[in-house]
Chain A
Amino acid sequence: MNYIIKKEKNYLIVSVIGDVDISLTDSLREDVDRALEEYSVNRLVFDLTEVDFVDSSGLGVILGRYKRVTAKGGKVYLAGAKPQVKKVLDLSGLPHLMEIYPSVGLLLDKIG
């Protein structure tokens, strides 16, 4: 399993594991979109704690979900990126669009 999707409080938390590239993005995109519909939540958290690698394909999934969620008045958060993942995130500009927290626990403590 490369990702786990669960609802916690009023958040949909997507915990991704390992490498995020085009071998994963189609299924990740479809499953997150389906879960957003099924759980009827508009606050989405990408937990990147266990992500070892991400490229622009993976970031595209996050950006696509950001557009979708914010269009309905929701918010997207990022949590737990390792240094090599944070470097790619910073270069992409995504942190200007969404809040980043060191971990999901800290995120939920602060805004939950």
Chain B
Amino acid sequence: MNKAVLEFSSRPENVAFARVAVAAFVAQLDFTLSDLEEIKVAVSEAVTNAIIHGYDNNPDCMIKLEIKIVEEFMEIEIIDTGKGIKDITRALEPAYSTDPERMGLGFAFMQSFMENLNVSSSPGKGTRVKMSRRAGTPGGKTVSEQ
């Protein structure tokens, strides 16, 4: 197993850091550039959720990111210790959002671009999003490169 662990402040500018770091680490597997773009979107959504919903935009909290590679399989965990999700089933519904300026598609994108998505949360304690994907397996819709 090959593993990386990162911990960073819950600041908006760190969303790009997180997705680029994950893409760089899992690029050692046989992912296409299109696959890596999809993985970046999924990571971006999970980290954004942690910042906005978990920590209510408080930039002084910490987000933990764990990436594991076992053979051709990768697993990503995004962990916050924020306020948690009261109703995970409802949060996972597409287009569910508490903010009219947001699309409510964060979890839908994670589900589309990953093979497996698991969300565990305890109100008041935090949220752990675990998602995984095998290299060479499309995570969702495929789009031909132009």
Q: Once the chains bind, are A22 and B12 in contact (CB under 8 Å)?
A: yes
Main secondary structure, interface of B, reads helix
CB distance from B14 to the nearest CB of A (A): 8
Name the contact of A86 in the complex, choosing from B16, B100, B143 (C-beta under 8 A).
B143
Given contacts A21-B12, A23-B15, A53-B40, contact A83 B144 (CB under 8 A): yes
Q: Once the chains bind, are A57 and B37 in contact (CB under 8 Å)?
A: no
Q: In chain B between 98 and 146, which residues have their CB closer than 8 angstroms to a CB of chain A?
A: 99-106, 108-109, 112, 140-141, 143-146
Chain B residues near A64 (CB, 8 Å)?
A: 100-101
CB distance from A23 to the nearest CB of B (A): 4
Interface: A111 (CB within 8 A)? no
- Of the candidates B38, B103, B106, B108, the one having the most CB atoms from chain A within 10 angstroms of its own CB is B103
- Of the candidates A19, A64, A67, A87, the one having the most CB atoms from chain B within 10 angstroms of its own CB is A87
Cα A57 to Cα B109 with chains together (Å): 12
Interface size on A (CB < 8 Å)?
24
- Of the candidates A64, A86, A90, the one having the most CB atoms from chain B within 10 angstroms of its own CB is A64
Leading 4 A-B pairs by shortest Cβ distance: A23-B12, A84-B37, A55-B44, A87-B143
CB distance from B6 to the nearest CB of A (A): 17
Q: Once the chains bind, are B100 and A67 in contact (CB under 8 Å)?
A: yes
Q: Once the chains bind, are B143 and A83 in contact (CB under 8 Å)?
A: yes
Q: Once the chains bind, are A23 and B100 in contact (CB under 8 Å)?
A: no
Could you list some 8 contacts between A and B, CB below 8 A? A21-B16, A22-B51, A53-B37, A55-B109, A56-B48, A60-B103, A64-B100, A84-B37
